[in-house]
Structure 1
Amino acid sequence: MNPKTMFACLRSMPAVPLALALTLPATVLADDGLAVVESRYDVAETEARLVEVVEGKGLKVMAQVDHQANAETVDMEMPATRLVIFGNPKAGTALMKCAPTVAIDLPMKMLIWQDGDAVKVAYNTADYLVERHGIGDCAKPVQEKVRKALDGFARQAAGAD
């Protein structure tokens, strides 16, 4: 984005969200519900750190997908790209009871990939899932916990704390 376009975007943002955005430089929240955190580590180390923090909080890592290795099986190349799938049945069940369609997005996932010289971690935000599935106030008891947990997991894995 060129400086002129960036200034126009910043000028159009309300003061409070802009101030909040400036206090969270390591996490980028996109309009599409995707949060992205830049990692200090390579893809493999970031993945290992994510698994450690998730399991350390008592969640279950259900799968790890190495997209780069899968691409190699069909003679294609791509940068290091890993997906970690994990869940908390208590929080997930509460959300699914509010709106069964949220199950399409559960268990939670975090994507770790090499993006040029940077390594990034991305995940769907809790707010996005609530809005996407029309969960509304039903999710309030777990929404804030999920929001904080996901941000914490990503930031710890990336060394952004």
Structure 2
Amino acid sequence: MRALLESEPHTKIVQAAEVMTPKRGRPEPTVEHLHQLNFQIIRIAMQMKRLWRPDGGRPLDGILFVNAPHTAVPFDTFTWLSFTSIMNLVDWMGISIPLNEAADKKLDVGMPIGDCYSDFDRSIQELYHAEKFHGLPLAAQLIGQRFEDEKLLALADELYPILTQRGQSKL
């Protein structure tokens, strides 16, 4: 199946993600290799679980976070998936909440390239073009723990009117 899919033309996003056409070779999926991958995933999930209860106090209900280091991007433009893919990796919930906002060329000015923190930050800043991004939608991501889907949906229901300024919260 992979050979057939790899023979198909892919968008720039699929190529950059290297899901179908990896640039580096993949290791053989041996039992030992799969065991090591699962061990690393469990270790990350356990670290996240510890951080979910700051200073041993009451656990967090959720975390409001960004989806990406930028707003929506023009079609077939790729940057980075880590803000959302970590939730898939550890099997935690993530809900993207569209905001009642859009990029505004008058308000959203780019950072001077010389002030960038890293090469990755520079690539994000170079991607931004006020005219092309004007009007693109903004969103936030609400993150919750595994098996707490209903809790996260209830929290999203409370936060959505506040984040979009479309009414009052029930709190």
With the length of structure 2 as denominator, give the TM-score of the two structures: 0.26
Higher relative contact order at CA 8 Å, sep ≥6: structure 1 or structure 2? Answer: 1
Structure whose residues are more often helix by fraction:
1
Structure whose residues are more often strand by fraction:
1
